[in-house]
Structure 1
Amino acid sequence: MTQVGEGQEAEETAPPVMTFGAPTAGEILAERYELVEHINNDSAGRLVWRGVDVILRRPVAVVLRYPGGDSATEMLQAAVAASRVIHPNLVGVYDAIDEDVRAYVVREWVDGRSLRELVADGPLDPARATAIGNAVASAIAAVHATGMVHGNVHPGTVMISDDGRVVLADARTDGEDSQEADIRAVGGILYFALTGHWPHAEAPLRGATAGHGRAAIPDAVRDASGAIAAPRQVRAGVPAYLDDLTMDLLDAEIAPPSSDVLSAELGRLDIPAEDHFLDQTGTIRFTADGVEDRSPLAAAGGRKVAIGIAGLLAVALVGLLIGIATLGNDDPETEPVARPSASTPAGDATPAPVVRKLTIQDIRIVDPDSRQRNELSDAEKMMDGDENKGWETDTYYSANFSNYKKGMGVWIDLGAPHTVKSLTATLSDSGVSAALFTGVGDFPSSSQGDKDLVKGFKTRIGQPFEQHDGTKMAFDGFDPEQKYQYLLFWITELPSTERGFKLGVQEISVQGS
């Protein structure tokens, strides 16, 4: 169990730490903090102890430096600054005391291991690496929101508790780093978690020498020019979107996003499988039975049941009317209005087809470039007649799906070939770019199935919309001599919202005969 001070244990060849007057187990500092066990010495010349706050009776970590005074100024200033930022992914700082002979910082005790120690057992799977990157980015965003810089983000300062909580420790205030360096360090954390290699050889971990001692971390795999290999080149199974994000953060030629945008993007990617049915920006869609709840926030489960019952009643009513019409053929008043009149010879005139709203037999989301496929739910809400409910994309940090996707689509099955007059999509916001295509056949709902579907739907209907200035998008370029069963509404650009780029498709309706 380590509670590293700056994330780095002293190297095996490091000189002994000056500990004149060093404390002993059982000593109580500031009449409050009892030292229980010496954990380790870090490479910054500090002693790390496990202790107990005898007043609040909680475990603490005590980081001591000898001597205090001027040599401990940076440590104490960093502790004071860190104590002002409260965040679940930041180690809590409780106290900072300078006794001249020594100085010490009292902070939260974390039962767990550093990321450096965790990855020593082997690189992490992409989902866990994403979760850790998300936690670190969230912590950094909280620090940056105060105008401060952490300045010490690396695998040794990222702690993973035994209960899975990820926290960032030991900020610095020496002015050597910037917010951009913090953000790029998150890319280093992702790279290290995925590969077990640290990509910042030009800026080694403080107090560590690459390739020497137990504090060292293996450098990234590099080509002859010194360029690092992408995570996907180092190991198999790294998703393309995570590989691209990591390498973009490490590329000095690409301006990094702000820490809050990066946090939002990693938060979007870090979604537990069991929570994929939730609307990440709205009300939970499944609640306990509530017959009297008629508000728009009622659970969709109940709504679907109601729609299903209404649908069955509607089918029954239509069947009854058809039966009556069939049995009543001898009564002229019950004949269909499109039947030839008595003055028109039978067969000499064909009535014009009646344009009506066509029934959508099936609808689903097409997402060929995503391996997580966590945006597939709620497609049926686009055909329930309620424009207040619909399907939504996740939130992205740019209009083109953060460069992770070429687009997303809505696949529509009319059940049988029809003459189609128009398709109208009701959208949550203006500024959407989209097109409509048709093709032949159904495909399985999988990454490969979606790829095959997109390849097969190449016949475009009408002209595409580019940053459409309205929320109603109508396609009417259908060939009246052709019949259509399968359509693909393909979205290539998302509208801007207060939190990023996101689209809701509230309703899709098809008119034809």
Structure 2
Amino acid sequence: MPSSAGPSIDTITEGGRVTQVGEGQQAEESAPPIMTFGAPTTGEILAERYELVEHINNDSAGRLVWRGVDVVLRRPVAVVLRYPGGDSATEMLQAAVAASRVIHPNLVGVYDAIDEAERAYVVREWVDGRSLREMVADGPLDPGRTTAIGNAVASALAAVHATGMVHGNVHPGTVMISDEGRVVLADARTDGADSQENDVRAIGGILYFALTGHWPHAEAPLHGATAGHGRAAIPDAVRDASGAIAAPRQVRAGVPAYLDDLTMDLLDAGIAPPPSDVLSAELARLDIPVEDDGYLEPAGPLRFAADNGEEPSPLASVAGRKVAVGIAGLLAVALVGLLIGISILGNDDETPQTEPVARPSSSAPAAEATPAAAVRKLSVTEVRIVDPDSKLRDELGGAEKVIDGDADKGWDTDTYTRSNFGNTKSGMGVWIDLGEERTVKSVQVSLSATGASAQLFAGTTDPPPTSSGDKELFASYKKNPIGQPFEQHDGTTMTFNGFDADAKYRYLLFWITELPPNDRGYQVGVQEITVQGS
């Protein structure tokens, strides 16, 4: 039932879910009741036009979100009220006025902003649907859906940034997906605390959250996006001992390399993000229908690759550090029509005569650069099993199956009585020869079971495939680890990204240190190893 007047107002939902845009993070369960005087009531008409129908929820700032009806135009609206009005509501009203000047299909429409001193309210478009935060509560999204949402958010931000303004409040609670699949961004801020660069970086957080269900900004959260508190809690990203977040491909299987790389690049403070219009154009290119498989492998998880044996064009890859800046020049033609449909409107008679807070972009123009080399699957000329501690050396057959493109066939270890190879050896692994020195971006290893521990090494020598040669090889390679080791990994896919972009690699060693259990003991199969690079 809708709330009546009183000292506090409870959250009302339909079917257990909030059905309104821009609610941000819900107030924490420990937050005190919201005390108001003259609180709104069902059926009340504001400004002789907006009838309040149902209280939906309170956002993290204590504002009241109501479903209403514009009795003049007979359309549903959302009404966001703040107590009191006056000076304390300036930021909310300025943000509403600024947002009303940008018309874009991926931005929630703002219709009115009114200050009545004792309260202020903003009237905006009503969208039936769920926030991204609520949607991902049912489970992480697939890569295609994630790319489409990221594309919509980037497009909305490009429209905002084209006016010189900043959104400043991009997080899973302000990204809304309607029941018809439309993605809209709501609840902009104009408090001067953010920049266009931070807006763009926030898209990395949106992609990471959609793919993993975890929020990567717990230590420095975006507005209203604090993790770990009450109803509003969003699980923090998986982190290593140093606090660095795990890449999406390390959290769950099936995340394509191009999306993993783009997400981590946007989250990397050491890499300048591209302007929002460049990012929007690139995500739009990647956001292709599933049936359009020109760059999709015919089987397995969604991945962009060149299957025809030819070098893909520079635009066919988003992977690689700084790639967004590198492709900026190539995207110029695509960007010509990006802002078509964006209308910058003058002040409406029904909005307060408050000018929006406009700030120049903090994102530097993309530097002229040579397009980054296309990242693709590299060919492997030779593989073999390395087993330095074995006397029988009876587990060496079948190594070629890990590069045959068939994930249903692979190389298996023997079954051991303990996870540490029965305490008979320090480990064993798969040695890879790329045939020549190459730039390597990542190595993905698909395993037959969860719970294995492994790491990746690089080397420069090719000793003979004998027991003594394997000992020599491992002693040399273990001095050069790539990325972080996986410990009892809860997935079946391990992705190693810690390659030096300025270095060349020919020989790699995937090294298994701990086996997962099965119904007979401890064993694992290496189903497929894929090396990405140029």
Scaled by the length of structure 2, what TM-score is found? 0.55
Aligned to 2:279: 262
Aligned to 2:454: none
Shift of 1:50: 0.2
Aligned to 1:405: 375
Report the more deviating stretch, 209-218 or 234-243: 209-218
Question: Residue 214 of structure 1: SS of its match in structure 2?
Answer: helix
Distance 1:15-1:404 versus aligned 2 partners, 3 A rule: farther
Report the more deviating stretch, 249-258 or 207-216: 207-216
Q: In the alignment, does 2:65 pair up with 1:95?
A: no
Aligned to 2:97: 80
Matching of residues 365-384 of structure 1 within 5 Å: 372-373=303-304
Distance 1:207-1:126 versus aligned 2 partners, 3 A rule: closer
Aligned to 1:251: 268
**Are 2:144 and 2:302, in contact at CA under 8 Å, matched by a contact in 1?**
no
Shift of 1:206: 3.3
**Are 1:268 and 1:395, in contact at CA under 8 Å, matched by a contact in 2?**
no
Aligned to 2:254: 237
**Are 2:314 and 2:372, in contact at CA under 8 Å, matched by a contact in 1?**
no
Question: Residue 232 of structure 2: SS of its match in structure 1?
Answer: coil
Q: Deviations over 1:16-71 (max 9, x none)?
A: 11221111111111111110000011110100000011111111000000110001
Aligned to 1:141: 158
Separation in 1, partners of 2:291, 2:175: 26
Aligned to 1:510: none
Separation in 1, partners of 2:86, 2:144: 45
Q: 1:34 aligns with which of 27, 31, 51?
A: 51
Q: 2:173 aligns with which of 149, 156, 169?
A: 156
Separation in 2, partners of 1:48, 1:195: 29
Shift of 1:204: 2.3
Q: 1:52 aligns with which of 69, 84, 93?
A: 69
Separation in 2, partners of 1:203, 1:3: 26
Aligned to 1:468: none
Matching of residues 404-443 of structure 1 within 5 Å: 405-406=375-376
Scaled by the length of structure 1, what TM-score is found? 0.57
Separation in 1, partners of 2:66, 2:256: 40
Distance 1:102-1:5 versus aligned 2 partners, 3 A rule: farther
Q: Deviations over 1:156-180 (max 9, x none)?
A: 0000000001000000000000011
Distance 1:367-1:249 versus aligned 2 partners, 3 A rule: farther
Aligned to 2:342: none
Given residue 98 of structure 2, which amino acid in structure 1 is its aligned partner? A
Separation in 2, partners of 1:242, 1:373: 9
Aligned to 1:225: 242
Q: Deviations over 1:168-198 (max 9, x none)?
A: 0000000000011000000000000000000
Q: Deviations over 1:334-383 (max 9, x none)?
A: xxxxxxxxxxxxxxxxxxxxxxxxxxxxxxx9999x95458789x9xxxx
**Are 1:4 and 1:48, in contact at CA under 8 Å, matched by a contact in 2?**
no
Separation in 2, partners of 1:19, 1:366: 58
User: CA-atom RMSD, angstroms?
Assistant: 3.3
Shift of 1:8: 1.3
**Are 1:116 and 1:156, in contact at CA under 8 Å, matched by a contact in 2?**
yes
**Are 2:200 and 2:275, in contact at CA under 8 Å, matched by a contact in 1?**
yes
Give the length in aligned residue pairs: 319
Given residue 114 of structure 1, which amino acid in structure 2 is its aligned partner? S
Matching of residues 425-464 of structure 1 within 5 Å: 448=405
Separation in 2, partners of 1:406, 1:277: 14
**Are 1:19 and 1:66, in contact at CA under 8 Å, matched by a contact in 2?**
yes
- After TM superposition, the runs of 4+ consecutive aligned structure 1 residues lying more than 4 A away are 275-278, 365-368, 370-377, 391-397, 399-404, 446-449, 455-458
**Are 1:371 and 1:447, in contact at CA under 8 Å, matched by a contact in 2?**
no
Question: Residue 65 of structure 2: SS of its match in structure 1?
Answer: strand
Task: Flag the structure with larger Rg.
Answer: 1
Separation in 1, partners of 2:192, 2:246: 31
**Are 1:25 and 1:36, in contact at CA under 8 Å, matched by a contact in 2?**
yes
Given residue 375 of structure 2, which amino acid in structure 1 is its aligned partner? K
Distance 1:112-1:402 versus aligned 2 partners, 3 A rule: farther
Matching of residues 291-370 of structure 1 within 5 Å: none
Q: Deviations over 1:302-328 (max 9, x none)?
A: xxxxxxxxxxxxxxxxxxxxxxxxxxx
**Are 1:367 and 1:407, in contact at CA under 8 Å, matched by a contact in 2?**
no
Separation in 2, partners of 1:200, 1:70: 30
Separation in 2, partners of 1:156, 1:199: 14
Aligned to 1:362: none
Separation in 2, partners of 1:58, 1:402: 49
Question: Residue 107 of structure 1: SS of its match in structure 2?
Answer: strand
Structure 1 runs not aligned, ≥5 long: 279-364, 380-390, 409-445, 450-454, 459-513
Larger RCO, structure (CA 8 Å, separation 6 or more): 2
Aligned to 2:138: 121
Q: Deviations over 1:275-302 (max 9, x none)?
A: 5679xxxxxxxxxxxxxxxxxxxxxxxx
Question: Residue 35 of structure 2: SS of its match in structure 1?
Answer: coil
Q: Deviations over 1:416-475 (max 9, x none)?
A: xxxxxxxxxxxxxxxxxxxxxxxxxxxxxx9959xxxxx9999xxxxxxxxxxxxxxxxx
Q: Deviations over 1:114-151 (max 9, x none)?
A: 00000001111111111111111111111111110000
Given residue 80 of structure 2, which amino acid in structure 1 is its aligned partner? V
Identity between Structure 1 and Structure 2 (%): 80
Matching of residues 54-73 of structure 1 within 5 Å: 54-73=71-90
Shift of 1:3: 2.1
Given residue 44 of structure 1, which amino acid in structure 2 is its aligned partner? A
Aligned to 1:411: none
Structure 2 runs not aligned, ≥5 long: 1-17, 319-323, 328-369, 379-402, 407-432, 437-534
Given residue 136 of structure 2, which amino acid in structure 1 is its aligned partner? V
**Are 1:5 and 1:63, in contact at CA under 8 Å, matched by a contact in 2?**
no
Separation in 2, partners of 1:209, 1:162: 27
Higher helix share: 1
Q: In the alignment, does 2:191 pair up with 1:174?
A: yes
Q: Deviations over 1:235-255 (max 9, x none)?
A: 111111110000000000111
Separation in 1, partners of 2:259, 2:305: 15
**Are 1:265 and 1:395, in contact at CA under 8 Å, matched by a contact in 2?**
no
Shift of 1:6: 4.7
**Are 1:2 and 1:40, in contact at CA under 8 Å, matched by a contact in 2?**
no
Question: Residue 192 of structure 1: SS of its match in structure 2?
Answer: helix
